[in-house]
Amino acid sequence: MTSVKVRRVESRLVDVVCEITLQDPYERITSPDVIARVFSFLEDRPQEELWALYLNGSSNIIGARQVSVGTANSSLLHPREVFGPAVRFGAVSVVVVHNHPSGDGVIPSWEDLAATSRIFQSGELLGIPLIDHVVVGHRGFCSIRQQYPERFDQTR
């Protein structure tokens, strides 16, 4: 079982960057279940938090970053915040994860689906594909790749 420790680090530019430290930092991401387990610490957060998980060619975790913190029911997701660190980490692929703290379940909103499409298209352009976007909450999780595969369609 993976234990997760969250730490905050102040950068020289005074923005707060969050990273997670994993018990096994090279854990292999084999399914949305593994992603949900790694990010189960988000279930009790009072605000939406959006995280990116960076993977190597073997789908092992090589880094994770908090991309944004939103309100009780929204968060910002922009490709530059996801893919800037991906390039620095040398990531081969990316997973995006966010929580739904409102207690309304883990069904993605229209905004979640639109953001997933934008991130997918950006990743395709950069050659760093988005593997999945997982929503976690008190009532489990939702893999957007599994539930809405059209969001990962290159022909759109």
Instruction: Identify the pLDDT of residue 83.
Output: 97
Q: How far apart are CA 150 and CA 94, in angstroms?
A: 18
Number of H helices, E strands in the chain: 4, 7
Does residue 105 register a pLDDT over 50? Answer: yes
Residue 153: band (very low, low, confident or very high) from pLDDT cuts 50, 70, 90? confident
How wide is the angle at C-alpha 119 spanned by C-alphas 114 and 120, nearest 5°? 95
Residue 57: band (very low, low, confident or very high) from pLDDT cuts 50, 70, 90? very high
Question: Among 48, 66, 49, 35, which Cα is nearest to 102's?
Answer: 48
Instruction: Say if strands 130-137 and 93-99 run parallel, antiparallel, or are unpaired.
Output: parallel
Q: What CATH number does domain 24-152 carry, 3.40.980.10, 1.10.10.370, 3.40.50.300, 3.40.140.10?
A: 3.40.140.10
pLDDT in tens, 2-29: 555 555 444 333 333 445 555 555 578 9
Domain ranges of the chain: 24-152
Ranking 32-41, 52-61, 62-71, 113-122 by mean pLDDT, the lowest is: 62-71
Residues 6+ apart with CB under 8 A from 115: 77, 133
Residue 51 CB: number of other CB atoms within 10 A?
A: 26
Instruction: Say if strands 61-69 and 130-137 run parallel, antiparallel, or are unpaired.
Output: unpaired
